[in-house]
Amino acid sequence: MSAATAAAAHRVAVTGLGVVSPHGEDPQDLLAALLRGESALRPVFPELARPAAAATVAFDASRWFTKLQLAGVDRVSQFAVAAADLAVQDAGGLGDAAPERVGVFGGCGMGGATALEAAYRAGMATGAGRVPPLTVPAFMPNAPASHVAMRQKAQGPVLTYSVACASSAVAIAEAAKAVRRGEVDVAIAGGSEALIVPGVVMAWQAMQTLAAFPAGDSRAAAAAVKPFAADRSGFALGEGAAFLVLESEARAKARGARAHALLTGWGHSCDATHLTKPEAAGQARALRMALQAAGLAPSDVGYCNAHGTATRIGDPIEREALAQVWGDGLGRLKVSSTKALHGHLLGAAGALEAVITVLALANRQLPPNAHCAEPDPACALDLVQPGAVEAPELEAAVSSSFAFGGSNAVLLFQRA
């Protein structure tokens, strides 16, 4: 075996991309909408005491399920099945991979919120505590990955990672490790989340983390999330799913598959200090680990799809973490948070933003950091401006996901 062949056997290629997003199901259309700065955020649940915005998905379940199949299948699993199927189609299928050599690695933060809320409402409404009998298998967090496995006939490891906002980024990294170690030939990795229901929105409102805007003002709702801006006030929830097909570069070449990018580095760390307040040192450790795994210096990376939740506490800490790693070179790192446009998908955020990062890298076009008219001096970064999207020399990019619980996950992609 030549040195080049041996190297290709250990490099992980991204050969399939699939999304069910607030901006649609076509990855290139998703990127185009982001490049135009189109926001999917809209007001939701006007009956709530405080106004809330969210990014929802226009989804036709009948394209993927019969009426009989939908029994006990929550929206979160419907999204996952569709996105994973689209990713496999984009990869040109799974080749000759034996079923036991195909793994599913899914991230999900909150499970079937729709099923759970419906069960509570039904139980209280009847007064007899009667809830749908399939409520438990509908809302369990591992249901999305299990449904993907059944649909794709994957008989290898089928694992679910529930690590809050880092869930699907962790899932993708763990899938890449399994591919690199030869534990699976193909990994279907990503995440799904569907939590736009009144109870969940009210719970996030109680934490005072959601973006504020005047009630009934749709235009203000669309621009309510302002990452790194001086007047930021929080994030808005989003829903959807995103999956990637991962396999060794050598296998992809052997079957004539296109590689969108290479996943060459990943880093995990835990702050181990506070359940909800992030720490720059922990985030910096994950960033350094991803760079080290890829064998790159900070100067080799030209773009960061930031976690960027537009919270008062989170954004300056993320900036500090980047400064700790990039040092004097921070001003040459382009940064944007796409949550301003598609919302925060929690357990699926890392996967959707990984897809966006891969697309940005492959097209050498960077999505803007929207709605940031006046950056916060405490968040001094080279933020991607609307219209300034071309990056002709971009060779590597990172996607960061920093979660409640102090868990940090970073994915590093390079051009194929």
- CB 80, CB 61: distance < 8 Å: no
Q: 270 an active-site residue?
A: no
Cβ–Cβ < 8 Å for 79, 20: yes
364 — alpha (psi -120 to 50), left (phi > 0) or beta? left
Structure tokens at 257: 């598959």
Catalytic residue among 260, 307, 342, 371: 307
Q: Which of 23, 260, 268, 344 is catalytic?
A: 344
Pick the catalytic residue from 23, 108, 147, 165: 165
Cα–Cα distance for residue pair 415/243, rounded to 1 Å? 19
Return the half-sphere exposure (C-beta side, CA atoms, 13 A cut-off) of residue 175: 38
Distance CA 257, CA 246 (A): 11
Cα–Cα distance measured from residue 308 to residue 310, given in angstroms and rounded to the nearest whole number: 6
Q: Radius of gyration of the chain from Cα atoms? A: 20
Strands (E) across 131-227 are located at 158-161, 186-193
Place of tokens 């990994």: 187
Are the CB atoms for 403 and 165 separated by under 8 Å?
yes
Our answer to whether residue 342 is catalytic in this structure is no
Instruction: Examine the residue annotation and report whether 10 is marked as an active-site residue of this protein.
Output: no
Residues with catalytic annotation? 165, 307, 344
